[in-house]
Amino acid sequence: MWKLVNGKLQQTTDMSRVKFRTTISKALIDELSILAKNNNTHVNYLIESGFVNFLDNGEEITFTKDQRPKDRAHYKTTYDKELLEAIKEVAKANELYINDVIEYSTKYIDVENSKNSNYRYRIEV
């Protein structure tokens, strides 16, 4: 992101975001990539939208370990720090892995309320 300091733009790192690497379904990554491309956003913004809606919904997870996909691939991106911590707590409370909760929360993606792909280039005062 960019910050306006004394009338000049300075590029800075968004400290509210953290890098996170996990393994999630390759087919899901491919599906989300197409959805992101068609809607001018990024996959991690779509996933974050799913996180927010899943947490707001307060629904109990109906996920069993035998439902895990067999095509998992490494996926590395950044997420909002507080949002990721909330997802970690949900995973721990339900005795699941974080990647299980990530995959489950994609059912709650709201494309209309996802961040635009240019969000990372925003200017904050």
pLDDT value at position 74?
A: 94
Record the pTM. 0.77
Looking at the DSSP bridge assignments, the partners of residue 18 are: 79
10 Å Cβ neighbour count for 16? 12
Note whether 68 and 75 are within 8 A (CB). Answer: no
pLDDT value at position 123?
A: 55
Note whether 83 and 52 are within 8 A (CB). Answer: yes
DSSP string, 23-41: EEEHHHHHHHHHHHHHTT-
What is the C-alpha separation between 32 and 75, in angstroms, rounded? Answer: 12
Q: Rounded to 5 degrees, what are φ and ψ at 51? A: -55, -55
Note whether 98 and 24 are within 8 A (CB). Answer: no
Residue 123 DSSP SS3: strand
pLDDT in single tens digits along all 125 residues of the chain: 556 666 766 666 666 788 999 999 999 999 999 998 998 888 888 898 998 999 888 778 887 778 788 899 999 988 889 989 999 999 999 888 999 999 998 989 888 877 665 555 545 55
Note whether 100 and 25 are within 8 A (CB). Answer: no
